[in-house]
Amino acid sequence: MEAGRFEHNTGSEEAFPVGMTITEKILARASGRESVQAGEIVRVKVDLVMGHDVTLPLSILEFENMGAPGVYDREKVVAVCDHFAPAANNAAADRIKMLRDFAREQGLAHYFEAGSGQSGVCHALLPEEGLILPGSVVLGADSHTTTYGALGAFATGMGSTDIAAAMALGETWLRVPQSLRLYYRGELGKWTSGKDLILYTLGRLGAGGAIYQATEFCGPTIEALGMSDRFTMCNMAVEAGAKNGIIARDAKTEQYLLERTSQTYVAPSSDHDAEYADTFEFACEELQPQVAFPFSPDNVRPVQEAGGVSIDAAIIGSCTNGRLEDLRIAADILRGRQVARGVRLIVIPATQKTYLQALKEGLLEVFAEAGGAVSTPTCGPCFGGHMGLLAAGERAVSTTNRNFVGRMGHAESEVYLASPAVAAASAVVGRLVHPAEVAE
C-alpha cells in the first residue's frame, strides 16, 4: 500500500477541543473539521471500503449504473470472497466471478479469494492483513464491519448502494452518533472470554439498546483483553443496533499493528469530559460463560442455567470467533477427547493464515482426532449459506454472531450462541455445558 494513506497524519490529540469522544474525533478529522457534535450530519472522507461476494455484486451493478469511471482509489477498495466461497453453487460461482472480474478491471490492490493466496472471512482477514488503522474511517457492505473498531477505527456497515457510492466518490454521509460508554472492571475467570462479555452486554442493552449509537468499550477488563477478544466484542456491537463499536488504541493495538503494517496513523482517544448518552458499568469477576438462546443474540443466560439443552452440531469459526486464539481454546478442551455420539463438530478457521498456523501447531489434528470436520476458511453455515446447515428440529451451539429464525438452515432449527470454550465442551458432552465440566 502506498505511503501517506492518511491525509491528516500530522495532527496531535491536542489539536482537538476538549469534550469529544473517540468516535467524534475520528469523524471530525474525516470531515475536515475541528470538532463535531453528536446528531450532526457530516460528509466524511473514507479510508477503506470493503465488500464481499454477497453484497458487492449489487454494489457493482449500481456502480455501473452510476456511470463512475473507476473506483476512487484502487488501494482503498477491497473485495473479499468469503460467504459462498469456495463457490457453493452455480449462482455463487457467477457472483464470485463478478468480483474477480471487477477487481481485475479496476486494478484493485486487495482482492481475496480462497485458493489464491491470502483469503478468509473479511472481518478477520482485513485486520490480519494490516489494512485497518486506528483513527481511520472504514465502510463495509456488511453489518459486522463494526469489528474493526477493536483497532480504534470508526467502522460501520452499510448497504450495497451506499458502498457503491463510496467506491465512486471516496466519501459518504453520516450522522455523528451519540456514544454509550461501556465500562468493564474485574478479572475474567478462566473460562470467560470476550464473547461472554459481549453476550452479557447484549443481554443488558437489548437488541435495539444501542440503535444509531457508538458503543465504546473501556475499563481495566477491556485493557486486559487480547486483540482477538476485542475483535469479538466489537463484532457483535451491531447486535445491539450500534453504528460502531470502538476500543481506544493501546500497547496491545500497537503491537498487533507493528507485526502487520508500516503505515503511520493518528489514534485519538476520548476526552475525560466527553459527553455520553449513557454509561453502563459491568463487574466481571463473577461473570460466567454465557449462552444466547434462540432467536436473538440478546436472549442471554449463564450456561449453568441453560438447562442442559441437547445439541446436534457444534460450529466453531466465523468473523466472531474463528481466530487462532479461539481455535487454541477449543483445541485445549478437545485434545484427547471425542465428539459425543450423534454430534457433528465443524471447525472453520477464519483465514488462511489462521488455518496454516493452526495446522503447524497441531490444532487441526486435534479437531480431526476428536472426530470433527475441519473446513477451509468461509462464512459457510454462519449465515445459512453452505458447509453444515441444520435440518428442521436440529440444534447447534455456535461461536457465530446471530441466532435468528432459520439463520443457519431450516426455519425450525435452533442456534445457541456461545464462546469457543462452551462450544467445544458442549460438543464433547452433547449438550450445553460449562467448560469446567469437561476440562480442568
Binding site for other proteins (CB under 8 A): 41, 54-55, 57-58, 61-62, 65-69, 83-84, 88-89, 91-92, 94-95, 141-143, 157-162, 164-165, 168-169, 173, 207-208, 211-212, 241, 243, 296, 383-385, 389, 402, 404-407, 411
Q: Which is nearer to other proteins, 146 or 228 (CB)?
A: 146
Q: How far is the CB of 406 from other proteins (least distance, A)?
A: 6
To the nearest whole angstrom, how small is the minimum distance from the Cβ of residue 45 to other proteins?
Answer: 14
CB of 336 to other proteins, least distance (A): 35
Nearer to other proteins, 168 or 429 (CB): 168
Nearest residue to 63 (alpha-carbon basis) of 101, 30, 32 = 101
- CB of 355 vs other proteins, minimal distance in Å: 23
| In the complex, minimum distance from the CB of residue 209 to other proteins, in angstroms, rounded to a whole number | 9
Q: Are 27 and 43 in contact (CB under 8 A)?
A: no
Select 193 or 244, whichever has its Cβ closest to other proteins: 244
CB of 147 or CB of 193, closer to other proteins: 147
Find the shortest distance in angstroms from Cβ 178 to other proteins. Answer: 12
Nearest CB to other proteins, comparing residues 173 and 359: 173
Compare residues 324 and 382 and give the one whose CB is closer to other proteins: 382
Looking at the Cβ atoms of 356 and 405, the one nearer to other proteins is 405
CA distances to 129, 200, 335 from 426, in Å: 33, 19, 14
Min dist. Cβ of residue 206 to other proteins (A): 9
Half-sphere exposure of 286 (CA within 13 A, CB side): 2
Residue whose CB is less far from other proteins, 72 or 183:
72
**Could you tell me the smallest distance in angstroms from the CB atom of residue 162 to other proteins?**
6
